[in-house]
Chains A and B, each alone.
Chain A
């Protein structure tokens, strides 16, 4: 058995607890008693994959079915992978230790573009050909889902199925269809895929032909064999009725998010124009406070977690935020559970609730103005004002805080040197504010941390047509920003720029990038989001060999008439709305949030029309 052959390797690798399974609440079933086996793969390390809420939900959802068994699979770290390849051990499910070839479905969660090579590597390590066209009728079905599935075109060479939107319902429909086909006695994968394309939200890449213009842009996307011309993402209409796990698998070894996570809502009303999540998860759907409380209680009691956090894009925008916080804080204080709260807009809170919120241990003061001037914040529709930041900082400093973290993006559309200077200026104003306060903490220096990431235009945002700043431009802007600093009270952090370039290429990529990903993987690329393992030169070679350029994908402005590689995907929010927003952005005009005024984005059709909120 695989488990025995693994044993001698485990003391030779870092953190072997990642590879042994057996964690509390992990689900082990009898192979003979289940009809369908699914591998839920996260294409990154155990510590990251085990922190992901989406897969926890799907794991519990599928395992609640008696006829199915879902297992977890993560990318082994290179030290473990090398030993597995040396000894001929295949990648396996953590619950059964069976190789990937023993599963009916191999699913991948697409959370970020730089995890794509790990998908190929995991399939290969599991004994499965990464290329869909070369897999046989009896090979497992490879399916994918998650936010990056909204433009899965670069992965079309590898996926049999792509699920769009939220997985709770479509997953079960897919399994039902599979079982029906299997029960018929003559399994034909192609026939199954054709039928699967009729499930709303199910995208079968092989049923679409894509042709290109001489300039490399998409000429046409043509469905065949009865596949729909547009595939609309799925959502759970009522979050109170949506499936939520009663418990989580509790890892032996520490993972990134090692706590009870309560998903308070999906969607966001803010409409920040750079934010893909803000659009693809629309419309806003919240859970009611009582449902949240009972889900939180169940999670804490069954896991023993001493910490709980709230997950959403903007918790302050929960329609009943005060009642919700009031109840959750009461519960966690009574049970000695540490609640980690995000930065909240506390303007309308009662004195009593504010006191309660303040009793919860605070993590730190962070703001995400994203841009240095009000003009540019209007361009990106980020509704954070300088006044708000100064007011909150003042209260925090007077309460004993000495540090503030500010998050910015660089390379935003229409950005000028003035906007970059605005970043430094805002930092300086906060430093000055601190020293102007009589009630500041005694004898302590202030520290303002400025973190700058590179803006990457994403599909399904108003900036999907924009050119991304080139590597050279960003590096120049970094230098400019660094030289504008005049105090050591401000520390400046940058993200690695090359990874952002590749992220930009893959995010708005087309099917031709499949060859590039394949070649890069063959050259040894994996764990591309880990700076110490990222090898940009290999990616450049892979692009060259495919006769493509990074500039075409990343730093080219698209015209509104161009057919975008993801135009056959319907995220609810319409292309016309994005275009409208893009034009408003160029004029630095803001769009009010959904609560104040419906901007007609189109996502309301997913819940049957009408107002989404308010």
Chain B
């Protein structure tokens, strides 16, 4: 079977899978660290023959190619895990989904195809409003904000606050109105080299205008590789 990548650890075969899941509803409020724990516990409950790291303090092997921020929904998020047996995809999905809490659903489990380093960008959809400000006015202001030559903001990095220009990072963006909210569809750099969250952009706008934004939706729709294909 080729639904997993087979590796050998200390003489025994181990099967590596990449799971794709949706994160929505209440689960969007789980932070990355908490999500890691939540998925580990779900594996324990699922009773799948999960592979534990070898060593003094064995724990479930689990890695995420691209962590997702608190408050974000995800459509095609992924994590890698290992089993001691090669099991059919349907069985993995049904057992995992039965063990997941509300708001996390696994849709695929297959052999990893791309390396995490190949990730280049991600597509997002946002819906937001700002108190009593009419949506048309908010949209016009936001469009003007995006049209600037440079969009300067401060980003919190490991080395402290740093000023960066968001403008060159915007691969594509589209705005519009949906009901009484502003819609933003945007493609931004993602991955290990550079990662920009779309709320950094809207947050810079809010700060510049002295507004407090109410987000109706923040969703990562797709994670894309350098060759334009989806991360699989």
- Chain A residues proximal to chain B, CB less than 8 Å: 8, 10-12, 15-17, 20-24, 250, 252-254, 300-306, 336, 338, 361
Interchain CA distance A241-B59 in the complex, whole Å: 35
Proximity string of chain B (141-168) to chain A, C-beta cutoff 8 Å, 1 when within and 0 when not: 0000000000000000000000000000
Q: Which B-chain residue is minimally distant from A250 (CB atoms)?
A: B41
Q: Which A-chain residue is minimally distant from B70 (CB atoms)?
A: A16
In contact, B58 and A11 (Cβ under 8 angstroms): no
Chain B residues contacting A305 (CB-CB under 8 Å) are 41, 44
In contact, A254 and B34 (Cβ under 8 angstroms): yes
Chain B residues contacting A20 (CB-CB under 8 Å) are 26, 29
Which residues 123-180 in B have Cβ within 8 Å of A in the complex? none
Chain A residues contacting B70 (CB-CB under 8 Å) are 16
Number of A-B residue pairs, CB cutoff 8 Å, is 73
Which residues 181-232 in B have Cβ within 8 Å of A in the complex? 212, 214-216, 218
Proximity string of chain B (10-50) to chain A, C-beta cutoff 8 Å, 1 when within and 0 when not: 00000000000000011101110110011011111100000
In contact, A8 and B34 (Cβ under 8 angstroms): no
Set B45, B52, B102: member contacting A336, Cβ < 8 A = B52
In contact, B25 and A22 (Cβ under 8 angstroms): yes
Q: How far is the CB of B37 from chain A (nearest CB, A)?
A: 7
Chain A to chain B contacts (Cβ below 8 Å), 18 pairs: A16-B29, A16-B70, A16-B71, A17-B26, A22-B26, A22-B102, A22-B103, A24-B101, A250-B41, A252-B30, A252-B34, A253-B31, A303-B41, A303-B45, A304-B44, A305-B44, A306-B60, A336-B58
Which residues 67-123 in B have Cβ within 8 Å of A in the complex? 70-71, 99-103
Chain B residues contacting A361 (CB-CB under 8 Å) are 57
Interface size on B, residues (CB 8 A): 33
Known contacts: A16-B29, A20-B29. The answer to whether A252 contacts B45 by CB under 8 A is: no
Q: Which A-chain residue is minimally distant from B42 (CB atoms)?
A: A304
Chain B residues contacting A336 (CB-CB under 8 Å) are 52, 58
Chain B residues contacting A10 (CB-CB under 8 Å) are 29, 71
Interchain CA distance A300-B212 in the complex, whole Å: 43
Q: How far is the CB of A124 from chain B (nearest CB, A)?
A: 26
Chain B residues contacting A300 (CB-CB under 8 Å) are 44
Chain A residues contacting B102 (CB-CB under 8 Å) are 22, 24
In contact, B45 and A302 (Cβ under 8 angstroms): yes
Give 7 nearest A-B pairs by CB, closest first: A304-B41, A304-B44, A22-B26, A304-B45, A24-B101, A20-B26, A16-B29
Known contacts: A253-B34, A306-B59. The answer to whether A11 contacts B41 by CB under 8 A is: no
Interchain CA distance A24-B71 in the complex, whole Å: 19
Interchain CA distance A15-B31 in the complex, whole Å: 8
Chain A residues contacting B100 (CB-CB under 8 Å) are 24
Q: How far is the CB of B28 from chain A (nearest CB, A)?
A: 9
In contact, B214 and A8 (Cβ under 8 angstroms): yes
Chain A residues contacting B52 (CB-CB under 8 Å) are 336
Interchain CA distance A361-B52 in the complex, whole Å: 17
Q: Which B-chain residue is minimally distant from A18 (CB atoms)?
A: B29
Set B38, B57, B60, B218: member contacting A252, Cβ < 8 A = B38
In contact, B41 and A306 (Cβ under 8 angstroms): yes
Chain A residues contacting B57 (CB-CB under 8 Å) are 338, 361
In contact, A301 and B45 (Cβ under 8 angstroms): yes
Counting chain A CB atoms within 10 Å of each CB, which of B30, B212, B218 scores highest? B30
Q: Which B-chain residue is minimally distant from A300 (CB atoms)?
A: B44
Q: How far is the CB of A37 from chain B (nearest CB, A)?
A: 21
Known contacts: A250-B101, A306-B40, A336-B58. The answer to whether A17 contacts B45 by CB under 8 A is: no
Interchain CA distance A11-B27 in the complex, whole Å: 13
Set B25, B30, B58, B212: member contacting A17, Cβ < 8 A = B30
